[in-house]
Amino acid sequence: MRVATWNINSIRLRIELVIEFIQKHNIDVLCLQETKTEDKFFPTSTLAQAGWPHHAFRGEKSYNGVAIISRSPLTQIHYRDWAGRSDCRHISAQIENGPLIHNFYVPAGGDVPDRKVNLKFGHKLDFICEMTRHFTCQKPHNAILVGDLNIAPLAQDVWSSQQLLKVVSHTPVETESLKKLISDGGWFDIVREHFGADEKLYSWWSYRARDWAASNRGRRLDHVWMSHDIAPSVKMVEIKADYRGAEKPSDHVPVIAEL
DNA sequence: ATGGTGGGTCACCCA
């Protein structure tokens, strides 16, 4: 089974790119974030015609939105509100004869890494804290957690750990919170495990760079975690950086894991 | 220290 996660930054603008991706890379289950559309506009028929007829999605106008797109049936579709808001940042589903999948879009957290002056940063920390509580109380089994978690936890997950220490996504309070969520929540970072501790890994490059590939100032914000029982069954992990160079690209690229 | 680009919807929000 091949599972992928991708912050698509508008499903309606990039539906043709999504179809091309899942066909070319033989994806069984695709989890999207930032779909940015209400459920009534979700492109269900286009995806069904392409061979992915099973969908679980939760969107709103203009902002956020998550989706699970699958070749095989989805059951037990659930979503939860986190940090006291119903802003479409989580959905989960059981894959038929497969694992449970959680798909998250964690708040980006604004520009200033101080919850006293920036409410968005407080929201982000509260969101991670609530995830940690949830999974600590309900340890995952036969489960995968994916998504844009908007935190690059390790020094090798950013182009310069020193220069990003005070930049939201790599501040110590964020990176420590995410590591605690992984360990206390019963998860395993299979992407980092697959590539090893030394390799720089990025899944996001800013739109604002003059030349994203030449400067290569990336961050690993998009994650694939597995519960300890199924982590050993990982066969392959790929970060599809070439999608950053697509026509009208998302600023994030897909991450694929094969079980 | 600043502003750079790109998505949404329709004067700005968000990333």
Contact A201, A219 (CB under 8 A): no
| pLDDT per residue rounded down to tens, chain A (259 residues) | 999 999 999 999 999 999 999 999 999 999 999 999 999 999 999 999 999 999 999 999 999 999 999 999 999 999 999 999 999 999 999 999 999 999 999 999 999 999 999 999 999 999 999 999 999 999 999 999 999 999 999 999 999 999 999 999 999 999 999 999 999 999 999 999 999 999 999 999 999 999 999 999 999 999 999 999 999 999 999 999 999 999 999 999 999 999 9
Contact A249, A240 (CB under 8 A): no
Dihedral sign (CA A140, A146, A152, A157): positive
Look-up of token digits 């908007």: A150
Q: How many CB atoms lie within 10 A of CB A49?
A: 11
* Rounded Cα–Cα distance for residues A88 and A86 (Å): 6
Closest C1' nucleotide to A64's CA: B14
* Rounded Cα–Cα distance for residues A197 and A174 (Å): 19
* Rounded Cα–Cα distance for residues A134 and A131 (Å): 5
* pLDDT value of residue A54: 98
Footprint of strand B on the protein (CB under 7 A): A 9-10, 12-13, 36-37, 61-63, 107-108, 110, 120, 150, 207-208, 248
* Rounded Cα–Cα distance for residues A182 and A145 (Å): 10
| Rounded distance in angstroms from the CA atom of residue A253 to the C1' atom of nucleotide B12 | 28
> Which tokens is A20 given?
């091309």
* pLDDT value of residue A245: 98
| Rounded distance in angstroms from the CA atom of residue A208 to the C1' atom of nucleotide B5 | 5
Closest C1' nucleotide to A124's CA: B15
Contact A42, A48 (CB under 8 A): no
Contact A103, A146 (CB under 8 A): yes
Instruction: Please tell me chain A's helix, strand, coil percentages from 3-state DSSP, rounded to the nearest 5.
Output: 30, 25, 45
Q: Within 7 A of a protein CB, which nucleotides of strand B? A: 3-9, 13-15
Burial (0-12, 13-18, 19+ Cβ within 10 Å), A196: exposed
Question: Domains in chain A and their CATH numbers?
Answer: 2-258 (3.60.10.10)
> Which tokens is A200 given?
């720089």
* pLDDT value of residue A153: 98
* pLDDT value of residue A161: 98
* Rounded Cα–Cα distance for residues A61 and A116 (Å): 29
Closest C1' nucleotide to A148's CA: B15
Burial (0-12, 13-18, 19+ Cβ within 10 Å), A201: buried
* pLDDT value of residue A59: 98
* pLDDT value of residue A78: 98
